[in-house]
Amino acid sequence: MDVSDEEKAKGKTVEVGRATFDTPTKKYTIFDAPGHKNYVPNMIMGAALADVGGLVISARKGEFEAGFEKDGQTREHAQLAKSLGVQKLIIIVNKMDDCKWQKSRWDEIQEKLIPFLKVTGYTEKDLIWVPISGLSGDNLQEPSSNCKWYTGPTLFEILDKMELAPRFANGPLRIPILDKMKDKDIIMHGKVENGTVRHGDKLCIAPHGGLAQVLELKDGKGRQVMYAASGENVQIRINVSDEDHIQRGFVVCHRDNMMPITDIFEAELEVLELLEYKPILSKGYTCIMHAHTFNDEVIIKDIVKAYERNDKGEETVKDKPQYARGNSRIICRITPKNPIAIEKFESIPQMGRFTLRDEGKTICIGRVLKYKPYSKTGVVDKEKAAKKALANATGPIITKDESRPDMVYDMETGVMKPKAKEL
């Protein structure tokens, strides 16, 4: 699926390739995500759109080992797939013809990979294995006559039998914007993560609160449709006042059920291996956050709790520690550079999970526990704005009422309370 001149010249995938195909029972959109470490952010974009992940392993001697070593991409891709919500993983062992379909090579790859995938969070029920040869087409659609020891289903049969997690078509609309293109109008691309979008819907773009309306709706194959439910990839021709309102990482929602916006949130992080010269995670640590299609710089504001294992394997809890080490679990507060649109993990998992990366390495996998609502943005109420403008133009200057105390948001209780007096 390498189509651009750059990809053909380098012999590696750079952008997320996209194609569609149908079987007798289902229709599929397939995303070819980059495997090279320089293009992991693009791989994250592809994985964020996927319901099922296929981890392609090379059976050629030396190639599997290179991908599975300490800094190999096989490890990072499996961790990212789990954190981005890919619950089922198909392990596609390719190039089996190169090793003459030897079962010993198949067993060797399984013995090394299964323990790591279990640590990542997958169970044996979540993993489906299939040996193939992409060059000759063995075990893709028809069973291979060269592999007598494998009696399981082909890759297409596995896909057709795959059961997906339930989606909520009647829930609040959430469409993270993946890309846009300028025609006569703006056309945006994304995946309906929750709810249903219909032709003519009046929308809002989070986090800035810009207003928009659906002019035309197309499915993943470019066919015009009247509505699209959760789980579908869509193209929306949209009427919007400002082209800059449509950016990758923003989220489309209905005006009567706005996407939450925050500039500080509390999250649970699984800390992976940190950088060698930055071996601890502490207050003020700066890194890049990837959530749905959003990616930008964030700062660890403070660490609330840290869960670590001692030499006996027992989990110990530290309240408000100064730092945390790799391979631990923490509760912390995170502040982005600008307000972002994000959900609690328990409300909409696809919109409440994220990864943290630093210098091209994934260091944390997280989920949002709670957030402080950001009050300085949202849909503009024109009537209120007009009344305010009139009052400012004709009425007296209103000064602050000193009798009313300043109110602040308490992250612990989730309620507003009077600000403590300064000493």
Choice between 314 and 42, residue whose per-residue pLDDT is larger: 314
Least confident range of 19-28, 75-84, 203-212: 75-84
pLDDT at 143 over 80: yes
Q: Which SS3 state, helix, strand or coil, does residue 76 take?
A: helix
Question: What mean pLDDT comes out for the span 250-263?
Answer: 93
Phi and psi angles of residue 243, each rounded to the nearest 5 degrees, phi first: -60, -30
pLDDT at 234 over 60: yes
Do you find a cis peptide bond into 131, omega within 30 degrees of 0?
no
Question: What mean pLDDT comes out for the span 162-181?
Answer: 85
Of 125, 70, 69, 133, nearest in space to 101 by CA: 133
Q: Work out whether strand 251-254 and strand 294-309 pair parallel, antiparallel, or are unpaired.
A: unpaired
Residues 6 or more apart in contact with residue 41 via CB below 8 angstroms: 290, 295, 357
Choice between 176 and 87, residue whose per-residue pLDDT is larger: 176
Choice between 241 and 110, residue whose per-residue pLDDT is larger: 110
What angle separates helix 73-83 from helix 40-48, to the nearest 10 degrees? Answer: 30
If you search the block for the tokens 């509505």, which residue do you land on?
Answer: 227
Phi and psi angles of residue 27, each rounded to the nearest 5 degrees, phi first: -115, 140
Mean of all residue pLDDT scores within the chain: 82
pLDDT at 385 over 80: no
Q: Work out whether strand 340-341 and strand 261-271 pair parallel, antiparallel, or are unpaired.
A: antiparallel
- Cα distance between residue 285 and residue 273, in whole Å: 15
| Strand partners for 407 | 418
Question: What mean pLDDT comes out for the span 352-374?
Answer: 90
Choice between 330 and 376, residue whose per-residue pLDDT is larger: 330
Question: What mean pLDDT comes out for the span 80-96?
Answer: 83
Identity of the amino acid at 123? T
Identity of the amino acid at 384? K
If you search the block for the tokens 């995303």, which residue do you land on?
Answer: 31
- Cα distance between residue 14 and residue 8, in whole Å: 10
Question: What mean pLDDT comes out for the span 322-340?
Answer: 93
pLDDT of residue 361: 84
Residues 6 or more apart in contact with residue 385 via CB below 8 angstroms: none
pLDDT of residue 383: 45
pLDDT at 76 over 90: no
Domains annotated for the chain, with CATH where assigned, are: 5-161 (3.40.50.300), 175-254 (2.40.30.10), 260-423 (2.40.30.10)
Q: Work out whether strand 186-191 and strand 175-182 pair parallel, antiparallel, or are unpaired.
A: antiparallel
pLDDT at 282 over 90: yes
| Percent over 70 (pLDDT), the chain | 80
Tokens at residue 96, please? 């089996």
Q: Using 50, 70 and 90 to split pLDDT, how confident is the model at 305? A: very high
pLDDT at 288 over 90: yes
pLDDT of residue 380: 43
| Percent over 90 (pLDDT), the chain | 35
pLDDT at 410 over 50: yes
pLDDT of residue 14: 57
pLDDT at 399 over 70: no
User: Other C-beta atoms within 10 Å of 69: how many?
Assistant: 11
Choice between 219 and 409, residue whose per-residue pLDDT is larger: 219
Identity of the amino acid at 36? H
